[in-house]
Amino acid sequence: MSATLRRYALMLLTLFSPLLNAAQSSQYTLLAQELSTYRLLTLFHLLRLEQGAPEVHLRLQAELENFEHLIHVQADEALASQLQPSAQRFQTALLDGARQSHDEIDFYVLGELSQSGHGLLQLIRQHQVELADSPASMDLRQAILMQQIAAEYVREAASFDSGSAVYDRAQELSEPVDVLAQTFSQRLAQLQHATAESADQRAKLEQVRVIWNYIEQPLLDYRERSLPFVISRYSEQIVVLLIN
- For the stretch 123-154, pLDDT in tens is 999 888 755 566 677 899 999 999 999 999 99
CA distance 60 to 156: 19
Q: Work out how many domains the chain is built from and give that number.
A: 1
Of 24-28, 54-58, 161-165, the least confident: 161-165
Q: How confident is the model at residue 226 (pLDDT cuts 50, 70, 90)?
A: confident
Q: What is the pLDDT of residues 59-110, one digit of tens each?
A: 999 999 999 988 888 777 888 889 999 999 999 999 988 887 666 667 788 8
pLDDT of residue 161 exceeding 60? no
CA distance 141 to 190: 13
Angle, helices 3-23 vs 26-49, to 10°: value is 150
What domain range includes position 131?
3-242
CA distances from 207 to 141, 166, 194, 237 (A): 17, 38, 16, 10
CA distance 10 to 54: 18
Q: Which residue has the higher pLDDT, 128 or 181?
A: 181
CA distance 69 to 65: 6
Q: What is the dihedral of CA 47, 71, 236, 49, to 10 degrees?
A: 10
| 3 state DSSP class of 205 | helix
